[in-house]
Structure 1
Amino acid sequence: MDYRRFLNGIGMRRQSGSYLTGLLESVQDIPDMISLAGGLPNPSLFPILSGTFKLKDGEEVYLDENTMTEVQQYSSSQGYPPFRQWCERFIKSYHDPPCWENADESKTKIMVTSGAAEAYTKVLEMCVKEGDKVLVEIPTFSSAIDNLLTLGAEPLGVQGDDHGMIPGELRSVMSKWKPEDADNPHSDVPKLILETVWSQVFFPSIQMAGC
């Protein structure tokens, strides 16, 4: 599938790597080269040499000086590489999503974010245009609604339960459109679904609280 049809102007112009990243890669293998382009601090200035972290189950995790130096230094904007590699193995093992093994630009990649809000904000900014309709599970994050309204989009609420969006409710909301509308680039059929995993986990508690 050509996923570019789901992108807005910002998403189409966004590149997978920045100009600075390409510049750093072009000089990093030059012998005796000291590049100031990345603004990387000298590791000798890092305040922490090593550390031991005790987990709740009593296990202790030790980070030696090499590892501690690595985690205190600037890393890839897509996330700490060893952690991303672990995430790739986990997702492949448990979900095996389509396009995972593709070798071209449609190959699935992972980017680590600081949390759900940053993740869906990045997606909305790259996909939503003014006037777009977006399916939103009820309940959802208030900040998600704020982001959609700021982008000029119209959130369409779909009641959910502890399994996610209720199929009958989703069918009712989508009954305005025909399946072939999805192939019409000028149709206003919703092209995104914003799910809220935490509401599915805590839905029984939400019901008891009368929310």
Structure 2
Amino acid sequence: MGKQGNYSFTGHIRPRQIRAGALRLRATFCLGGFSFLAFIVLTITGVLLLFYYQPGDRAFASLSEINSVLPYGGFLRSLHFWAGQLMVISVFLHMVRVVWSRAYRPLRELNWITGVVLFGLTVILDYSGYLLRGGQESGAAATVGQALFTSLPGGKALATVFFGQPSPLNGSTLNMFVWHVFILAGAVGFLQMFHFWRIRRGGGVRPL
């Protein structure tokens, strides 16, 4: 019964036993926790911004209205932006810590692969968020991204699916909006839960 309980959902959320080394701060430096906290802030602020943000030709104008008309709108946008930068930095440092401590070795290969995918998705999520700002800078960034895609075999079709039809003066499109808000964010959230589950199953991370 005890062994079976360790593999239950409750056992993973609050395991009865963990390794003593997992309790030391230098074991993780809480970088994974910082990444998850940033993701929670991004989710909450992103949902609130959805009530006013308009993708496409109105992207830049709607963000300007959020800054100037919506109470605390500028603070909300800044919080969303800096949480995104914190997540990219903390995930990167987390990867460095894993390599430095050789925590990718057996039996943790699957968690390492999941972490690599999460880092890649986090960078793409940050990039897509930059495009949704609209404006000439976002249009230029979208143009560079499209050029990179089209250099790959079948990349023209992939670029159309991912970017839509951004103009040089505006990188925000409905395609990019759907990828950023639903597909990429959903994939990151799901993989984070799987990542935490694998860590907890291996006896790491202090119980809640």
More helix by share: 2
More strand by share: 1
What range is the shorter-chain TM-score in? under 0.3
* RCO comparison, higher one (Cα < 8 Å, 6+): 2
- TM-score of the pair, normalised by structure 2: 0.24
- TM-score of the pair, normalised by structure 1: 0.24
Which protein is bigger by CA-based radius of gyration?
Answer: 1
